[in-house]
Structure 1
Amino acid sequence: MPVIDKPLHELLEYHSSNPKPADFNAFWDRGLTELKAIDPQIAYTEVAFQAPYAKCQSIHFTGTGDARVHAKLATPLKASAKPGPALVMFHGYSGASANWTDMLAYVAAGYTVAALDCRGQGGQSEDIVPTKGNTLHGHIIKGLDDAPEKMYYRNVFLDTARLAQIVMTMDTVDADRVGAMGGSQGGALALACGALEPRIQRIYSQYPFLSDYKRVWNMDLDQNAYVGLRDYFRRFDPLHQREDAIFEKLGYIDVSHLSARIQAEVLMGITLMDNICPPSTQFAAFNAIQSPKHKLIYPDFGHEALPGAPEASFKFMMGLASL
């Protein structure tokens, strides 16, 4: 088997090398308390696209820092006798919420589906939290020179929890039958959502981004989606005098640490030839999960479409209907 990382037997035992802040859980508990105090001011807007069996809308809600955050919402047109299952979907880095057609297969099965636009990326969500310091070459470092509460991904992670909470309050939805899913950045956000909203029951995460930053740097893979790390050190800490403190601060937004909080059942698609989100960083998140978990290992695949994974994740999420 080709290898770009540790051998598989070591990956199966690997845990994150990125430092975890001592107040990590308290930090996220404070964030959730802040989120709870925010009036989401939810607004629903009809959209041009519609389907014969689905009602399609836009949602806008207020998140941390007063940002207005957007998501797509698709609900079954045919009313069910009782509240049904639901999914929240998350997209890859720099992209936007899922296509309506990607959502409709689940709506046809009776699911309510919401798909988030990450702040300031390819969709409609605002990124208005002011931060000190550099924002060049990636959102990982946005807010790194400010209070940790200003970090970009801290606020996006809280957006995932708020979207799940909004979905859980809908009349069409059984709050105890909600799942989260996504790939790459979306895979990280699905894990973050499950970590911050414990009522999430199932998670599908495919080659998650935002995991074990120190390992990415040690592997000299701080490029592509992680290029902000290299650029930051070259510009602002060329002698790495603050290296330990920088990686510790990044630990607040590291899903390899957040994953320990997950209570949901998890299915993860893991790629062993991935030089965007290295295999060890994927396993760092997977191995931290303490709840029931399963993995699909793709030895010859990188950061790309995975044969059979859409069908496996669909079947996995169909299990929400029988909970």
Structure 2
Amino acid sequence: MGYADLPLDQLRRYQSEVTRPDDFDEFWQRTLKESRAAAAETRLEPVDNRLTTVDTWDVTFSGFGGQPVKGWLHLPANRGEAPLPGIVEYIGYTGGRGLPHERLGWALAGYAHFVMDTRGQGGDTDDAGGSGSPSVPGYLTQGWRSPEDHFYRRLITDAALAVDAVRGLDAVDSSRVLTHGISQGGGLAISGGVLGGAQAVLADVPFLCDFPRAAWISTRAPYDEIVHFLLRRRERADRLFQTLAYVDAVNFARQAGVPALFSVALMDPTCPPSTVYGAYNAWSGEKSIREYPYNQHEGGQGYQQREQYDWLRGFLN
């Protein structure tokens, strides 16, 4: 597969035309205030992960509307008494938190690592405010008539409140909590990190960015859900994109004030590079990006994780 998006020099200058709703801040401040008011105490139960170098807890915290959301907390077994920097990780589209012995890289590198489950998708958390039990996609048009009802209002709120929950753990240094994710997780790292007040954001090949352009040029799911919806409902385009503007990572990036490390794959047909640059170029804090010219949506994988270890070593020191 070759390049199907803008040339690299144009990507680096690309500016998203996503419109920020006038009540964007009020909408999200109200949403978080209501959900925080309904929050219950975070619960932790130790689990046997069959490992000797990492300890794991099954975590339940309060997400959107006070609804319970699951996650795994991984800590190095030899961590000592000092609180650790925290990494809140979000999962890709249709996925869930998985099994407790998966996703161990951050804990092995010395971090407190929280893997948030994804409501309504492939994990253990119901979408109590929407479709109920976890199900197959799509989610981009679920609740399209209003930002109040949209699926990603609930999931982004979960992502922000996961930062709250991790910041409140005894094992975590509350002044050093970061967000991370790939694809959908990368989009949530942006929105949840900004709303939750994370100290830095790691966003890899992020989804949920620049919806209007993504719908025009992406040839793959999940963005093609928008196309399939509108090809039969032609009169609903304006309303749908007005709703999506409330959950578009570009609009969160515009109000970010913390450092971020992005990655982009220049042959990515799932999250086209211009949509990633739409969020990256809108990022209002210190930022850098790693480009992978010959990769598709797999992005940098282990190479990018190595970049993140180095970047965080400099950031945290």
Q: TM-score, normalised by structure 1?
A: 0.89
* 1:311 corresponding residue in structure 2: 306
* 1:275 corresponding residue in structure 2: 269
Distance 1:77 1:258, change over 3 A: same
* 1:253 corresponding residue in structure 2: 247
* 1:287 corresponding residue in structure 2: 281
Which deviations, in whole Å up to 9, do the C-alpha atoms of 1:208-250 show, x marking residues without a partner? 001111101222x264112321222133x23xx3322321211
Q: Is the contact between residue 141 and residue 225 of structure 2 (CA under 8 Å) also seen in structure 1?
A: yes
Please tell me whether residue 212 in structure 1 is matched to residue 207 in structure 2. Answer: no
Secondary structure of the corresponding residue to residue 245 of structure 2: helix
* 1:123 corresponding residue in structure 2: 123
Counterparts of 1:3 and 1:228 in 2: how far apart (Å)?
Answer: 22
Letter in 2 for 1:312: E
Which deviations, in whole Å up to 9, do the C-alpha atoms of 1:130-165 show, x marking residues without a partner? 47xxx99511111112x3122111111111111111
Counterparts of 2:77 and 2:106 in 1: how far apart (Å)?
Answer: 13
Letter in 2 for 1:5: D
* 2:36 corresponding residue in structure 1: 36
Counterparts of 1:67 and 1:48 in 2: how far apart (Å)?
Answer: 26
Secondary structure of the corresponding residue to residue 106 of structure 1: helix
1:257 Cα deviation after fit: 0.9
Letter in 2 for 1:315: D
Structure 1 window deviating more from structure 2 (225-234 vs 168-177): it is 225-234
Counterparts of 1:105 and 1:48 in 2: how far apart (Å)?
Answer: 18
Q: Is the contact between residue 180 and residue 194 of structure 1 (CA under 8 Å) also seen in structure 2?
A: yes
Q: Is the contact between residue 222 and residue 229 of structure 1 (CA under 8 Å) also seen in structure 2?
A: no
* 1:155 corresponding residue in structure 2: 154
* 1:91 corresponding residue in structure 2: 91
Counterparts of 2:300 and 2:101 in 1: how far apart (Å)?
Answer: 19
Counterparts of 1:227 and 1:264 in 2: how far apart (Å)?
Answer: 32
Unaligned runs of 5+ in 1: none
Q: Is the contact between residue 179 and residue 320 of structure 1 (CA under 8 Å) also seen in structure 2?
A: no
Give the CA RMSD over aligned residues: 2.2
Note the 1:1-323 alignment, pairs <5 A.
2-78=2-78, 80-97=80-97, 100-101=100-101, 103-130=103-130, 137-145=137-145, 147-198=146-197, 200-219=198-217, 221=218, 223-235=220-232, 237-238=233-234, 241-306=235-300, 308-319=303-314, 321-322=316-317
Counterparts of 1:82 and 1:57 in 2: how far apart (Å)?
Answer: 18
Letter in 2 for 1:70: K
Counterparts of 1:98 and 1:262 in 2: how far apart (Å)?
Answer: 30
Structure 1 window deviating more from structure 2 (292-301 vs 221-230): it is 221-230
1:48 Cα deviation after fit: 2.8
Unaligned runs of 5+ in 2: none
Q: Is the contact between residue 72 and residue 97 of structure 2 (CA under 8 Å) also seen in structure 1?
A: yes
Secondary structure of the corresponding residue to residue 276 of structure 1: coil
Letter in 2 for 1:289: W
Q: Is the contact between residue 50 and residue 56 of structure 1 (CA under 8 Å) also seen in structure 2?
A: no
Secondary structure of the corresponding residue to residue 267 of structure 1: strand
Aligned length: 313
Secondary structure of the corresponding residue to residue 242 of structure 1: helix
Q: Is the contact between residue 34 and residue 65 of structure 2 (CA under 8 Å) also seen in structure 1?
A: no
What is the aligned-residue identity percentage?
A: 30
Q: Is the contact between residue 61 and residue 69 of structure 1 (CA under 8 Å) also seen in structure 2?
A: yes
Counterparts of 1:14 and 1:217 in 2: how far apart (Å)?
Answer: 17
Which deviations, in whole Å up to 9, do the C-alpha atoms of 1:34-86 show, x marking residues without a partner? 22212234222232314323321111123224432111111233453432211
